[in-house]
Every structure is written in structure tokens, then in C-alpha cells.
Amino acid sequence: MNGEKGKVCVTGASGFLASWLVKRLLLAGYHVIGTVRDPGNERKLAHLWKLEGAKERLQLVRAELLEEGSFDEAIMGCQGVFHTASPVMKPSFDPEAWETKQFQWHGRMGYVHIDDVALCHILVYEKEAANGRYLCNSTVLDNNEFEEDGRPYYEFNTSKIKSLGFNFRPIEDMFDDCIESLVQQGHLPPLQPGHQRLRAAPIAI
């Protein structure tokens, strides 16, 4: 890639979603300006510099979300801005924030591969016809007890993003890629040859 697609800015570039956005933008040929709190923090930014094309087309600059004008220089000359940064406020000590009652009550959760989320962002940015809000959800998993109860459920309507030509990856790919990433980073031991593919099974809470 030669960077002919132009320059874009990704705020909060070291974050989870932003890192995947940076990866996909670099692979697509963009020159990426990523904002971070401390460009000199090699430990927190190492994963970004390992990305393909990072040495040629990635620039990390300092910006603080709560400082007025902090992003002016970063977005100067950019054709697009992917705003994923979020302020880190005081930690929450509300015990209700850690309870699972709401999840138990609803009994389901939407899943989507983080790579699909990044690709959807880029797709919507590149499509001139794109407008408004797009729902990005691939799979909904239910608790066994919720299914056995026979209650109807409504899946997320993702027809709008699919109308732009996007196809979501299956839930199996999400878990497989997650495990592979954890193995590569040393958080999990490598799977032995001949080991069966990991499968996710719903559990009753």
C-alpha cells in the first residue's frame, strides 16, 4: 500500500476498538494519525508499532480529551476522523455496577467480532450514501432457561449495514480469534497438535 487513500485521525488510538481501526486503516492504505495520552509510552503502544504499515504510515501524537484545543494539530489536514476516545473519570465504587441482575433478567447478549466493528466503521466512512446510525451486531446468544421458556425475542436489525455490502463473521470465529490472540500474547498456553477446536457453550446463570 502506498497511502493513496489519504490521511485520517483515530482518537484514543491505543484502545481496544481503536487499535483494530488503526490496523485495518493501515492495511487499506491510509496514513493514520493516532492520538494518545503519552506517545513515549513504549509499553502501552508496542502493539500499534507492530502493525503492518505502522513504520511507514502511522504517526502517534499527544492529545488529552479534556484539554480544549488539544486535538487541533492532530486533525489538521485529515480527510476523516474516527472518534473513539473517551474520558477516564473517577473510578466507580457503586456495587450495583458489578451485579448481574439485569443480564439474568434479559438472559441474552449481542456479540460481534471486533474486527467487524472496525471494518464497519471504515465501510460507512467510505460509502458516500451512508448516513445516520448503523447497528453492528452479528449474533445474539440466549440462556438455556430463556429458550426453554418459549419467550419471543427480537434480533438486532442490521439490514442497514448489510445493505452496504457487509457480511458478519460467525460467533465461532470471534471466539477462535480471541483465543489465538491470547495465545500469541502469552496469556494462554499454545494448543497442542490435534487439540479440538474450542467451542462456546451457553450456561444458565
Q: Which of 37-51, 71-85, 87-101, 190-204 has the lowest mean pLDDT?
A: 190-204
The whole-angstrom separation of Cα 71 and Cα 90 is: 22
| Assigned domain for 150 exists | yes
| Assigned domain for 33 exists | yes
pLDDT tens per residue across span 91-124: 666 666 556 665 555 566 778 899 999 999 999 9
Give the pLDDT score at 30.
97
On the question of pLDDT at 12 being above 80, the answer is yes
Give the pLDDT score at 171.
84
Q: Which of 4-8, 54-58, 98-102, 142-146 has the lowest mean pLDDT?
A: 142-146
**CATH code of the domain in which 25 resides:** 3.40.50.720
Q: Is the pTM of this model over 0.75?
A: no
Are residues 24 and 118 in contact, defined by beta-carbon separation less than 8 angstroms? yes
User: Which amino acid, one-letter code, is at 125?
Assistant: Y
Domain that holds residue 128: 95-184
Q: Categorise residue 85: left if φ over 0, alpha if ψ from -120 to 50, beta otherwise.
A: beta
pLDDT tens per residue across span 164-196: 999 999 888 888 888 888 888 888 888 777 655
Domain boundary among 33, 53, 83: 83
Do 144 and 102 have their domain in common? yes
| Assigned domain for 89 exists | no
Do 53 and 121 have their domain in common? no
Do 26 and 54 have their domain in common? yes
The whole-angstrom separation of Cα 21 and Cα 157 is: 23
Do 99 and 168 have their domain in common? yes
Do 173 and 101 have their domain in common? yes
Do 103 and 169 have their domain in common? yes
| Assigned domain for 90 exists | no
Task: Provide the number of structural domains found in the chain.
Answer: 2
| Assigned domain for 203 exists | no
Question: How many of the other CB atoms lie within 10 Å of CB of 39?
Answer: 16
Give the pLDDT score at 174.
87
